[in-house]
């Protein structure tokens, strides 16, 4: 994901545009955890193998405007801050207080690569300074600088558990309807394949998967109900 595409997503969020490309939930007042889809799922003759969402942390300033993002690629982090918000501590604070504590709930170390050739001397020096102040240590400095931070060396520990915001009963209905559509669509494909190719391995696998997808509706409903009950109990205290 390029800096230009990140900037576009931030602009869309600040403009209140709802494109469906970003699913997000707040981790705190100034950082959202997000999944970003470059291309939304659609029926197409163009199939991109392994295409999936990006995990990201979206950073906001004090008034609540989105001014940056940290893209989590597991074996690397790519961060970006809009020009007008740079050198004001937003990135360092978000990484120190929220992003890295959340990441260290998932894994025991984080690697990053900073390439002067890609981002220029000024941005390279700034990013390297941010990384070192957070505790990252240089492990290789050849074509690009590779750094690592171990969970055991991180001073701020991990982020505590919290109750996720969930979604409305209307959204639950929409998601269940989508699952039903996927199940029926697979059954439709199954019928065509069966009449064209006979009782193949595909038919048995498709039948099993269609049933599992349909059962997911009830699993989703049950888990949403459990979340709703926890929220209601918390409000009544």
Per residue in 74-126, pLDDT (tens digit) is: 999 999 999 999 989 999 999 999 999 999 999 999 999 999 888 889 999 99
Nearest 5 degrees, angle CA 140-CA 99-CA 107?
65
pLDDT, one tens digit for every residue, the chain (237 residues): 889 999 999 999 999 987 778 999 999 889 999 999 887 777 765 655 557 889 999 999 989 999 999 999 999 999 999 999 998 999 999 999 999 999 999 999 999 999 988 888 999 999 999 999 999 999 988 879 999 999 999 987 666 767 778 889 999 999 999 999 999 999 999 999 999 999 899 999 999 999 999 999 999 999 999 999 988 887 776
> Which residues on adjacent β-strands are paired with residue 111?
148
3-state SS, residue 122:
helix
Q: Angle between the 169-197 and 201-236 helix axes, to the nearest 10 degrees?
A: 170
- Rg of the Cα trace of the chain? 22
pTM assigned to the model:
0.83
């Amino acid at each position: 994901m390029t800096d230009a595409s990140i900037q576009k997503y931030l602009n869309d969020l600040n403009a209140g545009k709802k494109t469906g490309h970003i699913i997000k939930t707040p981790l705190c007042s100034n950082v959202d955890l997000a999944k970003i889809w470059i291309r939304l799922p659609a029926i197409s003759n163009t199939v991109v193998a392994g295409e999936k969402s990006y995990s990201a942390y979206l950073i906001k300033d004090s008034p609540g405007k989105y001014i940056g993002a940290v893209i989590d690629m597991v074996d690397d982090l790519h961060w970006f801050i809009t020009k007008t918000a740079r050198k004001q501590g937003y990135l360092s604070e978000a990484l120190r207080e929220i992003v890295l504590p959340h990441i260290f709930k998932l894994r025991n170390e984080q690697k990053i690569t900073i390439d002067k050739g890609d981002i220029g001397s000024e941005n390279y020096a700034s990013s390297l300074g941010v990384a070192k102040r957070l505790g990252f240590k240089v492990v290789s400095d050849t074509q690009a600088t590779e750094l690592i931070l171990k969970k055991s060396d991180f001073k701020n520990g991990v982020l505590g558990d919290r109750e996720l915001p969930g979604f409305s009963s209307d959204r639950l209905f929409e998601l269940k309807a989508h699952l039903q559509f996927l199940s029926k669509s697979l059954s439709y494909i199954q019928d065509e394949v069966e009449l064209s190719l006979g009782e193949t391995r595909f038919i048995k696998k498709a039948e099993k998967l269609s049933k599992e997808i349909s059962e997911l509706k009830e699993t989703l409903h049950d888990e949403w109900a459990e979340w709703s009950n926890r929220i209601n109990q918390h409000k009544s205290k």
